[in-house]
Amino acid sequence: MKHTRTPVMLDRRRATALLLATAAGSVIAQPAWPDKAVRIIVPTAAGSGSDLIARVIAQRLAEAWKQPVLVDNRAGASGVLGVDAVVKAAPDGHTLLMTSASPVVINPLVMRKLPHDPRTQLVPVSHVGIAQAALLIHGELPARNLQEFVALARSRPRQLSYGSFGVGTGGHLGVEAFNQAAGIELVHVPYKGTGPALNDLIGGQISALLVDMANAQNHVKSGKLRALAINGPKRSALLPDVPTFTELGFAGVEGTYARFGVLAPTGTPQAVIERISRDLTAVLTDPAIQDRFRPAGYDLYGSTPAQMGQMLRDDGERWGKVITALGGLALD
């Protein structure tokens, strides 16, 4: 008996073929990424930690992607200008943000008039690295270690001071986290940069300063300043004899180091985000890159987007507790 195909069977086969052809056509129609230059916006001036790292990874990524990768410095307003430029960019993977965590984590907690919300308008791409800092004191203070410094501060409430690079910065909130954990009161003196704060610490105008490892190493070796503790998860090869805050019983201060990462505008295709994450992680594991930044105190390593997102949430919770304990901060 001759078998005949019913109209229903033919319609189903035609529909299936049409669906497959449409899907294949959509895949073919999608342009390869990147199909033009990629811009990495850095919300700080040239020469900053974020900028130096961004320029090195940009060169390597350009080689991998066969497209120019340009670094665009948008300094000003504590990182607000640079972050705003990324938030307003097309979410197509061709505009990225390379930043420390401060503009995307601390700014929303302390600034009253942000033109954006980085927590909802940016998505994490990859972790880039951390920069540990050391708590330094003037060499003539009668304290040889952190325990003695805490005892000295308790015996002289609000008589010892510490510098920072501005209200709401990591250097300010990091020392405040230590104050809260140790039950001491150091007077905050904000500065406009590392140089002036270090000069006043060396001169004895202030008592303490939380500063990056490269600067800390230079002044500790000269004998002018004394390093009491490191705020990272492990000791630094630059100052191997200096313990971490956690080792000394102040685990809450760990994590107040500078964290660097890459983010993209919300809406950027997930496949693009994951590719950038993979390629960036590969760059950061290169021993040549590691060797270049280790002497400056940077510990570089990539992550998945999800891991970076969790790190930022943890940072926000940590800084939020410090700010709440201060009675809140409200900056214009």
pLDDT per position as a tens digit, 217-249: 888 988 889 999 999 999 999 999 999 999 999
Compute the distance between CA of residue 186 and CA of residue 156 in angstroms, rounded to an integer.
9
Q: Which amino acid is located at 237 in the chain?
A: A
Compute the distance between CA of residue 88 and CA of residue 266 in angstroms, rounded to an integer.
10
Number of domains in the chain: 2
| pLDDT tens digits, 73-104 | 999 888 999 999 999 999 999 999 999 999 99
Domain end residue (candidates: 222, 253, 284): 253
**What local confidence, expressed as pLDDT, does residue 8 receive?**
46
Domain end residue (candidates: 236, 253, 270): 253
Q: Show the domain range for 225.
A: 133-253
CATH code of residue 163: 3.40.190.10
Compute the distance between CA of residue 293 and CA of residue 279 in angstroms, rounded to an integer.
19
In 139-239, at which residue ranges do the beta strands (DSSP E only) sit?
Answer: 161-164, 187-190, 208-212, 225-230
* Peptide bond before residue 34 is cis, with ω within 30 degrees of 0: yes
Whether residue 269 sits in one domain with residue 245: no
Q: Answer yes or no: are the C-beta atoms of 254 and 233 closer than 8 Å.
A: yes
Q: Which amino acid is located at 109 in the chain?
A: L
pLDDT at 141 over 70: yes
The b/e string for 218-237 (b: 16+ C-beta within 10 A; e otherwise) is: ebbeeebbbbbbbbbeeebe
Residue 146 lies in a domain: yes
CATH code of residue 43: 3.40.190.150
Instruction: Give the residue-averaged pLDDT of 267-296.
Output: 96
Match 């410090």 to its residue by tokens.
322
Match 């040549």 to its residue by tokens.
288
Whether residue 291 sits in one domain with residue 216: no
Q: Answer yes or no: are the C-beta atoms of 62 and 36 closer than 8 Å.
A: no
Q: How many CB atoms lie within 10 A of CB 325?
A: 12
